[in-house]
Structure 1
Amino acid sequence: MTGPENRCRLVLIVPDIADAEEKQKIIADALRGGDVASVILPQYGLDDGVFQKHAELVVPVIQEAGAAALIAGDSRVAGRSKADGLHISGNSAEVAEAVEAYTPRLIVGGGNASDRQHALQLGEIRPDYVFFGKLEGDIKPEAHPKNLALGEWWATMIEIPCIVMGGTDPASAVDVALTGAEFVALRSAVFADPSAAASVVAAVNAMLDEKAPRFDG
């Protein structure tokens, strides 16, 4: 019997929904669909006070489902909402600052690794994960070929886990898994039709159970 821990796991990116209670309900529904490792909550231009209210509603729902709640960018909101971690989309200096300030108390991961050089700079900082792609980068059915290539290179070279952004087609999760990446991030693929979010999460987990390579140990 193999559990999801020994294969690529799903990371959800919360969609841009203005109503906090609607956002909370949609996330709760999606998480009923099966295994999710973590959920990243972007700010999407909300002012800090409104974003904090959104986080305070959504973070407990994520945690109750057994996933890690990661706040994109705002360490104060992460602290006040009792989130599990911080997702930094900025440059390596911003990631380094966050790693120094918040690990190991919070999970701190870094994005914006657009090429191998920037990825290695991030790796030297030893974040908890590196993110390939952009949180809103799911603009085509398939994952971006550059992100797949970076994920495959990283997974064979570096011990720090990576998350690769998938596409708008749930099946893009399998392409990410085949790179050896530990995590695949989906947004529109899961939330384009919120009423189907749980069934999409279940379907993605079933695909990963069937087709994702297994990690040693």
Structure 2
Amino acid sequence: MTVPEDRCRLVLIVPDIADMEEQAKIVADALRGGDVASVIIPQYGLDDGTFQKHAERLVPVVQAAGAAALISGDTRVAGRAKADGLHITGNVAELAEAVEKFTPKLIVGGGNATERHSALEVGELRPDYIFFGKLDGDIKPEAHPKNVALGEWWASMIEIPCIVMGGTDPKSALDVALSGAEFVALRAAVFAEPANAPAIVAEVNALLDEKAPRFED
């Protein structure tokens, strides 16, 4: 499989499913649909022990598909589950602590950057990526215009890659790609109808192959 490094790539956010086996199957199916750069595994409402079990079940599934498994939640879970990295949703201080403690052993990224000033504060920490939006911020068909605008501004001047949260419509991935962002995150757009997840991943990849701008080296 060729990896489309020169265009915006897909990041999946694991849906909130209490049944661990069902969750793992849905994620595995989606990953069969085509190129996915990484998968973010949120803790949602799970206690640390249950989240640990979910993470240990999901991480190998993600890695087997050639994607990076990123844990969002208890940082200790990431180490025990042998994840590839951490997604930090907290403030700049939390991200700073994680960058200091875990890089370069783990991928560390995140952000809670809602405007340019806080984004630049995140950038000063040199994380592996910055994330614009919330992991459960896909409440409308389109990506939030503010996040797309932040992604466009960031990608035009900062070397650190950015992930922009998409909307509930798979086609929202293209709007994010057109901003110049390196990655687009989808959750409900892919997982709302689990049976369709592989087809939607394939469809998004085809759309990005056809219409996403290519990055210069």
Moved over 4 A (4+): none
What CA deviation, in whole Å up to 9, does each residue of 1:136-173 have, x standing for no partner?
Answer: 00000000000000000000010000000000000000
Structure 2: state its 5+ residue gaps: none
Q: Which residue does the alignment assign to 1:164? A: 164
Structure 2 residue 35 is matched with structure 1 residue 40: no
3-state DSSP of counterpart to 1:83:
coil
Deviation at 1:101, TM superposition (A): 0.1
Correspondence for 1:50: 50
Q: C-alpha offsets along residues 72-105 of structure 1, whole Å, 9 cap, x if unaligned?
A: 0211100000000000001111100000000000
C-alpha RMSD of matched pairs (Å): 0.8
Correspondence list, 1:161-200, <5 A: 161-200=161-200
Amino acid in structure 2 at the alignment position of 1:184: V
3-state DSSP of counterpart to 1:139: coil
Q: 1:95-125: CA deviations, max 9, x gaps?
A: 0000000000000002210000000000000
* Equivalent in the alignment of 1:87: 87
Show CA shifts across 1:16-75 (max 9, x none): 000001000000000000000000000011000000000010000000000000000211
Kindly provide the amino acid, as one letter, of the partner of residue 49 in structure 1. G
Distance 2:4 2:206 in 1: 10
Query: What SS does the aligned partner of 2:209 have?
Result: helix
2:117 paired residue number:
117
Q: Aligned partners of 1:138, 1:161: CA distance in 2, in Å? A: 20
Distance in 1, matches of 2:186 and 2:10, equals 7
Closer, same or farther in 2 for the Cα pair 1:20/1:3, shift >3 Å? Answer: closer
Equivalent position of 1:67 in the other structure? 67
TM-score, normalised via structure 2 length: 0.98
8 Å contact from structure 1 (residues 74, 86) kept in 2 = no
**Structure 2 Cα separation of the partners of residues 74 and 99 of structure 1:** 15
Deviation of the 1:3 alpha carbon? 4.6
Q: Structure 1: any 5+ residue segments left out of the alignment?
A: none
